[in-house]
Chains A and B, each alone.
Chain A
């Protein structure tokens, strides 16, 4: 079976600054991959290239075995508008800053995709929308506008909005980074539930404890390259690369007491 996502020799630069150097990454069906790395390492750009919110300079991206674009004379060219729109509709994405539509209620945010893009009758879309709001624990907020919701609630509505498209794959771009610490848990719980339900997920996050618990595979990205990847136990306890070790030491310092293992212990000593 072909992998859910297949990225080959992906290269992306902003002007003279190269953000991704020939990145290869495969993600299997139902796999949960967590991408970690310092800020500016290119992890968010990599994620945004998968649904082409960022268009790479060269390389190839396959989702479900179908290309998201083609290389023409060495340059990446995305699918045409209509095809791209169809493909994107099958890939859910959750943003750091939620990006809910502020002029629509929670329920309207969730039903917009089904109604407009899946041509679902309103009544059916609302039924689906309510079941999803229930799933993220926000059924009673159906008529609230985003401005009246907490950050954690907004992010859960955003997850429901993505799920309403019944995506085959979900991308999470630092979904808890903009949240107050006490609101992080509710969003992680929702994501954990999704992972348990078998969703294929690619997650960029700084939540190491969550990565350790939920990830099937952790990918460490450094200066636009995948330096190391493997099961969380391996990456967190026996990182091979010196740069991975020092990144984890820096990141884990605050949460050292939550994690057993040599890196955490080393971090705790510092």
Chain B
């Protein structure tokens, strides 16, 4: 093997490499928050009695689930300003694109969670005079949420990794910086290995956090 590893490139550039962490986390968490809000709205619309709402939500999910995240990113960055006259910087448009993508997956998770709650629950709620809205808010969603924790963790973890796509639009996240250093130092193997470790740690930490939440919720049953 002719290659000689030189990990110094990683250690010497540690502060720069880690400087992208904040961007990666911000993009991921904001997109996640957007995804949860959008996903809840569209997920509830998916199980609505109103056919128009149902179809709108289904169309949204179908578009965002069946096109590559990269295309969505580029579309929001280049096309949205053209159509809406909005001038968005790259980090904002990337976050929006990722948020809408996450919203589509979350909507499906929420729909599944809602449909997994026994029908007797909404019947019982109806007999004590709860409206459909109150039933959804107080009875169905809290129960659906527990069934959704595991798939939501999957979604968060893949969102962290998808966020690396924003580097393509020049957003200086972990991936962008590793890429930049790799081209200037000619040490891609070391730098990308380290990049992998960074993502691994973030995702593992998030999964651990989610585990604790699940345990805390399960204590009550």
Contact = CB atoms under 8 A, between A and B. Distances in A.
A89 B124 contact: no
A165 B128 contact: yes
Interface in A51-83: 51, 53, 81-82
A117 B128 contact: yes
Contacts, number: 70
A257 interface: no
A92 B127 contact: yes
Given A99-B118, A102-B221, A147-B221, A89 B128 contact: yes
Nearest to B131: A85
Nearest to B139: A101
Contact of A99 (B123, B142, B220): B123
Interface string B120-164: 110111111111101000110011001000000000000000000
A89 B129 contact: yes
B123 A53 contact: yes
B127 A51 contact: yes
Interface residues of B, number: 21
B128 A162 contact: yes
Contacts of A93: 123-124, 127
A103 interface: yes
A118 B146 CA distance: 28
A95 B146 CA distance: 24
Interface in A89-127: 89, 91-93, 95, 97, 99-103, 112-113, 116-118
A101 B124 contact: yes
Contacts of B221: 102, 145, 147
16 contacts: A53-B123, A85-B129, A88-B126, A89-B128, A89-B129, A93-B124, A99-B120, A100-B124, A101-B125, A103-B220, A116-B138, A117-B128, A117-B130, A161-B128, A162-B128, A165-B129
